[in-house]
Amino acid sequence: MARKPRDNEHTCPHGVSRRGFLGSLGAGAVAAATLGRPGETAPPEVADAVEPSKVTLLVNGRRHRLLVEPRWTLLHVLRERLGLTGSKPGCERGECGACTVLIDGVPRYACLTLALEAEGHEVTTIEGLMRGEELGPTQQAFAAEDAFQCGYCTPGQIMAAEGLLRAKPAPTVAEIRLGMSGNLCRCGAYPHIVKAVRRAAEARKGGGR
């Protein structure tokens, strides 16, 4: 049995309702806007336009030859391509410091550094502070002073401390607080972190690196 049209739905002699006709006009407008002018081709996909680049990265004393996309961050390459997962993704916008590494001895956020920017520079991660299976002096100091709780931010804290101590072997408490201010600890272990950096400074005086 044929459906009786509603009061606001009028049919034309060919069986197309008023609502269907208006709907087809809307779909046509969308299609025209998508395709653009006659003879105009759609822009290529971004993924097709970006080709990987060859890069050689010096990480923890080892050279790695890689193909990377220009948009990849150093953090992504360290974790996903080199398997160095000590550097942690946190905010990924340069606010928390969980991804801190050293580039030419200076602390940098790996999440804000493109992998291509690191070429020609020496990158050191938390793994690079190890002496084989033995922790380095700064790592040992953090463990001895219990300078962590959940531990997620700890690699970044240690790398910030390492960079500070390379620049200032005997920092004051004020200099430690300033030097560590770019690294957040949501657990609030800051007093222990300051003690750990002071302990690491003392250990380095005794022959630690």
Q: Which of 78-82, 99-103, 132-136 has the lowest mean pLDDT?
A: 132-136
H or E segment to which residue 187 belongs = none
Structural domains present in the chain: 49-129 (3.10.20.30), 130-209 (1.10.150.120)
Q: What is the mean pLDDT of residues 49-57?
A: 90
Alpha carbon separation from 106 to 41, 121, 175 (Å, rounded) = 48, 11, 15
**Letter for the amino acid at 15?**
G
**pLDDT (mean) for 51-60:** 97
**What's the token pair of residue 171?**
């920092």
**What's the pLDDT score for residue 206?**
73
Structure confidence by residue, pLDDT tens digits, 1-15: 555 445 444 444 444
Cβ–Cβ under 8 Å, residues 158 and 200: no
- Of 11-25, 63-77, 87-101, 171-185, least confident by mean pLDDT is 11-25
Contact 156, 99 (CB under 8 A): yes
Contacts 24+ apart (CB under 8 A), 56-59: 56/119, 57/82, 57/115, 57/118, 57/119, 57/123, 58/121, 58/122, 58/123, 59/84, 59/123, 59/124, 59/125, 59/128
> What was the pLDDT predicted at 47?
47
pLDDT digits (tens, 9 = 90+) for 85-102: 999 999 999 999 999 999
Rg of the chain in Å (alpha carbons): 29
Q: Which residues, 6 or more positions from 202, have their beta carbon under 8 angstroms from its beta carbon?
A: none
Contact 123, 113 (CB under 8 A): no
For the chain, the farthest-separated pair of C-alpha atoms sits apart, in whole angstroms, at: 98
Pair of tokens at residue 117: 């920017």
Q: How confident is the model at residue 45 (pLDDT cuts 50, 70, 90)?
A: low
**Rounded to two decimals, what is the model's pTM?**
0.76
Q: Which residue has the higher pLDDT, 10 or 55?
A: 55
Q: What is the pLDDT of residue 106?
A: 98
Q: Are 66 and 77 in contact (CB under 8 A)?
A: yes
Distance from CA of residue 132 to its chain's centroid? 27
> Looking at 24-28, 81-85, 105-109, 153-157, which range is the least confident one?
24-28
**pLDDT in the model for residue 18:** 45
Mean pLDDT across the stretch 50-74?
A: 96
Give yes or no for residue 127 having a pLDDT over 60. Answer: yes
The average confidence (pLDDT) of the chain is 85
Own/partner pairs, 104-108, CB within 8 angstroms, 24+ separation: 105/163, 105/166, 105/167, 106/163, 106/167, 107/159, 107/160, 107/162, 107/163, 107/164, 107/182
Weakest mean pLDDT among 21-30, 95-104, 114-123: 21-30
Nearest CA among 150, 156, 130, 154 for reference residue 142: 154
Amino acid at 6: R
Give the mean model confidence (pLDDT) for residues 186-200.
Answer: 97
**Quick one: average pLDDT of 31-60?**
65
